[in-house]
Amino acid sequence: MTKPLRIQFIVADSAHARWVKRAEDANDFITVHELKAHPLKAHAHGAGGHDNAHIDQEHAAFARQVADSINDEARADHDDRFAVVAPARTLAAISEHLSAGARARVVRTLAKDLSKTPDHALGDWLRPLELG
C-alpha cells in the first residue's frame, strides 16, 4: 500500500492563498495559514476601473509573495513537501519565483482553481496528490 507523503498544500488564486494540511485527528483537511493580496489602488483609468496592466502587475506581485512564503517554509527545519494548487497562470508565476530548495520540495502541482473550495470539500482533489 502506498503511504501518504507529509505535504503542505498551497491553494492559491491571483489574490488569495492558503496553506492546507491534513488534520492530525481526522481524514479532513484544514487551513492553517492564509495570505491575501493588498487591495488594488485606484488609478486614473476610468471611473473606478483599473487598467489590465496594473492588475497583471498586482497578480504577479502576489504570486511572488506566495513563492517567497514557500521559499521561507522550505528553509525551515522540517521534512514537509509541498503541493501547489492554482490556476495555470498563477501556478506558473509562483513556480517562476521558487528557490532551488523550494522547487526540489514541490512534489505535486495541480492547475486548478480551488481557492473558493471549502476545507471539507478539498479531499477529493488533495488526497490523490498525497500519494507518492
Which residue is listed with cell 482533489?
125
* Predicted confidence (pLDDT) per residue in 60-82, tens digit: 899 999 999 999 999 986 778 99
Q: Nearest-CA neighbor of 66 among 7, 8, 16, 119?
A: 16
Per-residue pLDDT at 9 exceeds 50: yes
Residue 121, φ and ψ in degrees, nearest 5? -100, 0
pTM: 0.83
Domains of the chain from N-terminus onward: 7-40+49-130 (3.30.420.60)
Alpha helices (runs of H) in the chain, residue ranges in sequence order: 52-75, 88-96, 100-105, 123-130
